Amino acid sequence: MTTTQASSDHSAHNTAEVRQVLWRVMILNIVVAVAKLAAGIVTGAVSMIADGFHSSVDASSNVIGLVGTRLAAQPPDEDHPYGHRRFETLATLAIGGMLLVAAWEILQALLERLLQGGEPDVTPLSFGIMIATIVVNLGVTLYERRRGQALRSSILLADAAHTSTDVFVSLSVIASLAASALAVHRHLREV
């Protein structure tokens, strides 16, 4: 086996492992998104709905990563004599764009709630779902970061950074749910 063949075999194996990580993370992101969206819709908690949309954007970024790695794995050709590795970089940039979309969705939901008013029905289940999704997101972030470092994959490292933002967003959702619960509790004592 030549050095070129060995390098090609390693690269193909590396790409397959990166894709496997992205598939696993995408499935977890879908589960988290569905849980947040369902709980947010049932309780009327806009912050949970917004966080659910943010998590669905995470799953979309995994799809972008899968497409990017598929394109990047293509062998060199006449138009790309050095290969297609730049597609992975483009996919990484697209994930950054997805973060901007998520921020816009959250801002829109917040403005809608401020203009229309209303209070969510905060339940212990709301807090439970948010805490569980934080635990899942922390696990996904650590797993994806470790695999990204081991595989030297910029797309996994970028996606891990993206997923880590979910922890902070979810903590802010918990704070908003707690504030809503306290406001409702105070209002009931005054009545």
Segment 51-74, tens digit of pLDDT = 888 788 778 788 888 888 887 767
Contact yes or no for 35/54 (Cβ under 8 A): no
**CATH number assigned to the domain comprising residue 127:** 1.20.1510.10
Length of the chain: 191
What's the whole-number average pLDDT of the chain? 78
Domain extent, residue 120, equals 3-190
**How far apart, in whole angstroms, are the C-alpha atoms of residue 181 and residue 191?**
16
**How far apart, in whole angstroms, are the C-alpha atoms of residue 144 and residue 158?**
9
**How far apart, in whole angstroms, are the C-alpha atoms of residue 34 and residue 30?**
6
Contacts of 155 (CB under 8 A, 6+ apart): 18, 22, 65, 68, 69, 88, 91, 92, 95, 148
In total, how many domains does the chain have? 1
pLDDT band, residue 3 (cuts 50/70/90)? very low
